[in-house]
Structure 1
Amino acid sequence: MKTERDGDVLEESPQEPGLYSPVSPLPQDQPVSTYFEEKVPIPEDDRAKMFSFRKLWAFTGPGFLMSIAYLDPGNIESDLQSGAKAGFKLLWVLLGSTIIGLLLQRLAARLGVVTGMHLAEVCNRHYPMVPRIILWLMVELAIIGSDMQEVIGCAIAFNLLSVGRIPLWAGVLITIIDTFVFLFLDKYGLRKLEAFFGFLITIMAISFGYEYVRVAPDQAEVLKGMFVPYCSGCGPVQLEQAVGIVGAVIMPHNIYLHSALVKSRDINRGNKKEVKEANKYYFIESTIALFVSFLINVFVVAVFAEAFYGKTNMEVGQQCNASGSPHSDLFPANNETLEVDIYKGV
């Protein structure tokens, strides 16, 4: 059957075998339920224009919400350990992981735009019961493993920011509460939620960027570590850290999230031009968001590499005393190689 919409003639068939399985033979145009009650409208610009900042702004949001997962406490801990144990030598692993993450996020966004379903809905409609249950359990375990780091990391952050006045158990409770608060923020408007997370990312970029400029690491070494895929003098410790970087950056539940977030825009999936346009702007927006998150991660790695790589406990303790830090007692007065974690590092 042929239909004509906005001057585009689309070929349609009652059933598309590539999109459906015998498990759930539902037609493509059947409305799919979505988490978002309201969808963001896309402005109508001149179709002859190759690029429109107004449309890019309308599509901006899902990529930055997704990119928060690249800046969580687990990533900060991974960056810290990478800088402390390998200096700038593993920056190329971070770069490669971010590029692979961008490709996966692009595929996830395209899936949501083209099918109108997020990845979980597609898996539910395509796979029999046993694979669906296995996928669900695997993703749940991945989320639990990731969230354990986030909760503990946030609790440590509250403890440090309050100079010990908020104990770790109270920080955990606060983190649990604010998680549920974020779940209800989009009820006040999705664009407000996106703007709020954009504001948080901006604060992180300014804060870590300031520390990077203040520390002033050797730029030649930073660029060498970023673009030369080699790690001289590295051993099992650095290899383990490289694997940790990949695991911290590429997370399966973030792919599910991105495929759902792109459904928040009002896109006519029956119009081929609108679908292509949405995929283009989502890719541009995701690239910008992940580039910003990559820069922040580089700032963190470089700062901690400059501060801790190749240092002993005594050297770092003396630096803390010289700067008047109240946490100099965390580093014993010996010449053993420094063992640092997110609590000591921050």
Structure 2
Amino acid sequence: MKDKSGYIIAAAFIGPGTITTASLAGANYGFHLTWALLFSIVATMVLQDMAARLGLVTGQGLADGLTQSTASPAIQKLMAFLIVAAIGMGNAAYESGNLTGAALGLHALIPLGISIWSVILGLLAAVLLYTGRYKLIESTLVGLVFLMAIVFLITLLFASPDFNLMWQQMTSPTISLPSLTMIFALIGTTIVPYNLFLHASLMAKIRRDDNHAQAIVDCRKQSVRAIGFGGLITLVVVATAMTAFFGSENTLTAGNLGNQLEPVLGEYAQWFFAVGIFAAGLTSAITAPLAAAYAVCGALRRPANLDDGFFKTIWLTVIVVGVVVASAGFKPLAAILFAQAANGLLLPVVAVFLLIVMNTHPGLGQFKNRLASNIVGSVVIALIVALALYKLVSLAS
């Protein structure tokens, strides 16, 4: 089987949350928060490499590896509970953002309302997962997302951006209490916790041979290319929104997100943007519940395949919760931003799980984490925890 997992992971994190969060960051902060995005891209490469290595070498997903790499039954049960709570609940929040983003795009085309479109999209995602024939559709939607990225790049060049100003802002990083939610959102939209479980499970299903070292090298190269491209897309969206909105009297809202494409697409900008964010949303609305099902089934040692009834129950629950939250009347941009921030807060828990597995799993042998991977993983955890504590202390004072 040819490995395309790196591009699946990149497509999974380029969802409506990425487009919306990057647009809001560029419009409100310019390039001052680029440091958070660049850090997230590098951290994603390192963490996804760990997850992929686990799947390739052991043939197990992250949840399986975690619960089976600890000797104490009590600790195994505790970790299983935390995985079910963190990934199951976290993906439900993430799913609401995916459905809200996709519904936002469709509402711009046919104004039926965000709630109605969320229900329709939830049903579509459920049907696709139930039949198992979602891969071709997902590939088409990913293609639309990449096409949208090209238009963003062309738009940015035609808009005559001030590259000197971008560089000045990039080298003048900002961190403040008002910007923390946006920082968490940028991190959460890039280092997506469920992608770690998804990547490990996908790699575990690939036919492996005895040459694990070469397979790891090949996988690492592809992941770096794919994730790097995904990061570039996000950076271009930030730059485009900055050029269109930052420092101007125009305020970015749910209704004018597509205005940043007007220099190239004119009156068709909103339509194209709507199709793109719908494509991104539906793609992510499929992968989020799928990853939750892999994680929960792995933690509970249940069969992780599309035909299993319990597996279906997990992804269906995530979709239903996502539909309910997306239909509850929250402001679209606020719901998407909240989902991304929630993932940023969830990340330290998942990263700790991953580090534990990569240092203790008996099946990894010589492919256990080396010092460099442990240092980067620890820095990621420390940064997210520090930001969270800073926000809590600031709010309490």
The verdict on a shared fold, with TM-score over 0.5 as the criterion, is: yes
Is 1:250 the counterpart of 2:229? The answer is no
Is 1:138 the counterpart of 2:86? The answer is yes
Task: Classify 1:202/1:313 alpha carbon distance in 2 versus 1 (closer, same or farther; 3 Å).
Answer: closer
* Structure 2 match to 1:66: 9
* Structure 2 match to 1:290: 227
Q: Residue 236 of structure 1 is aligned with which of 177, 183, 186?
A: 177
* Structure 1 match to 2:159: 215
Which has more radius of gyration? 1
Of residues 211-220 and 257-266 in structure 1, the stretch that sits farther from structure 2 once superposed is 211-220
The question of whether the paired residues in 1 share the 8 Å contact of 2:5 and 2:203 is answered with yes
* Structure 2 match to 1:169: 115
5 Å-filtered alignment, 1:1-346, equals: 40=1, 58-59=2-3, 61-127=4-70, 128-162=76-110, 164=111, 166-183=112-129, 187=133, 192=136, 195-196=139-140, 198-226=142-170, 228=171, 230-231=172-173, 235-268=176-209, 271=210, 273=211, 275-313=212-250, 342=333
The question of whether the paired residues in 2 share the 8 Å contact of 1:152 and 1:172 is answered with yes
CA distance in 2 between counterparts of 1:220 and 1:279 reads: 39
The question of whether the paired residues in 1 share the 8 Å contact of 2:59 and 2:205 is answered with no
CA offset digits 1:96-153 (Å, max 9, x no partner): 1111011100000000001110101112323421221122111112111211111111
Structure 2: 5+ residue stretches without partners: 71-75, 271-330, 335-397
Task: Classify 1:315/1:244 alpha carbon distance in 2 versus 1 (closer, same or farther; 3 Å).
Answer: closer
Count matched residues. 261
Secondary structure of 1:266's match? coil
Post-superposition shift, 1:325?
Answer: 9.3
Post-superposition shift, 1:222?
Answer: 3.2
CA offset digits 1:164-187 (Å, max 9, x no partner): 2x3222311232133234426755
Secondary structure of 1:212's match? helix
Post-superposition shift, 1:314?
Answer: 8.8
Structure 1 residue identity aligned to 2:113:
P
The question of whether the paired residues in 2 share the 8 Å contact of 1:186 and 1:193 is answered with no
Quote the RMSD (CA, aligned, Å): 3.3
Structure 1 residue identity aligned to 2:83:
L
Task: Classify 1:186/1:172 alpha carbon distance in 2 versus 1 (closer, same or farther; 3 Å).
Answer: same
Task: Classify 1:203/1:278 alpha carbon distance in 2 versus 1 (closer, same or farther; 3 Å).
Answer: same
Secondary structure of 1:265's match? coil
Structure 2 residue identity aligned to 1:284:
K
The question of whether the paired residues in 2 share the 8 Å contact of 1:85 and 1:238 is answered with no
CA distance in 2 between counterparts of 1:326 and 1:277 reads: 45
Structure 2 residue identity aligned to 1:202:
F
* Structure 1 match to 2:280: none
